[in-house]
Structure 1
């Protein structure tokens, strides 16, 4: 029996709580649309990152819940917060993270507008 998904979820929650995140249940990216309008913590693997330097506001996107363009969730990092990330947003590609904030609908997907690097937590597997 494979316990890796359960261990990962527990590690994500422990990591988020230890780093000062609100104690709340982790939401999988594919379930985030069920929580539109609520504050939440969406946790999963960053499948792809994209710096949209030619788009209005030059945001950086973290795509989760499937490969772009069929992803189910994205975290939008405004350009004025981009340089504050350590590691950089691009270094998060392929990593497990939790994103905290208000979940909104963007087309058929859910999205969180990241207000600061503190809204994005790296997950650690223990």
Structure 2
């Protein structure tokens, strides 16, 4: 019997300069809305980074799962965490990352509110 569901996404997380890495199943950005209310790890390419300087709280968004404004997932970095990121949020654009946290709904998209830089890791997606 042939399964019609997509195979699990496996990622290799690269934790800064740490010498160890591990593989783990993850949620694709386009599937994140199915996991609202759950803790999870959403992995994919950062299509666009946007610093919302004129919005309340001045968050930075990492848009994944398609080009802005038709993306399916965002990671929201609060202003007070923005300067703690190395690489900076803007340097993550075009890179594969994994975001860990509680998946929430924001309008018609899924979102994770990032609490600290450790909630986002560079990834090699297989």
The normalised TM-score by structure 1 is 0.83
- Please give the alpha-carbon distance, in whole angstroms, between the structure 2 residues aligned to 1:27 and 1:19: 18
Question: What stretches of structure 2 of length at least 5 have no aligned partner?
Answer: 1-6
Change (3 A) 1:75 1:125: closer
Select 1:15's aligned residue among 1, 13, 16. 13
The C-alpha deviation readout for 1:66-120, integer Å capped at 9, x for no partner, is: 0000000000000000000000000000000000000000011000000000000
Runs of 4+ in 1 over 4 A off after TM superposition: 16-20
Q: By percentage of residues, which structure has more helix?
A: 1
With structure 2 as the length reference, what TM-score do the two structures score?
A: 0.83
Aligned match of 1:101: 101
Alignment of 1:4-83 (within 5 A): 9-10=9-10, 12=11, 14-15=12-13, 18=20, 25-83=25-83
Query: Does the 8 Å contact 1:73/1:110 carry over to 2?
Result: yes
What is the alpha-carbon distance in structure 2 between the residues aligned to residue 97 and residue 50 of structure 1? 16
The structure whose Rg is larger is: 2
Higher strand share: 2
Show CA shifts across 1:28-73 (max 9, x none): 0000000000000000000000000000000000000000000000
Cα RMSD between the aligned structures?
Answer: 2.2
For residue 124 of structure 1, report the CA deviation from its aligned partner: 3.3
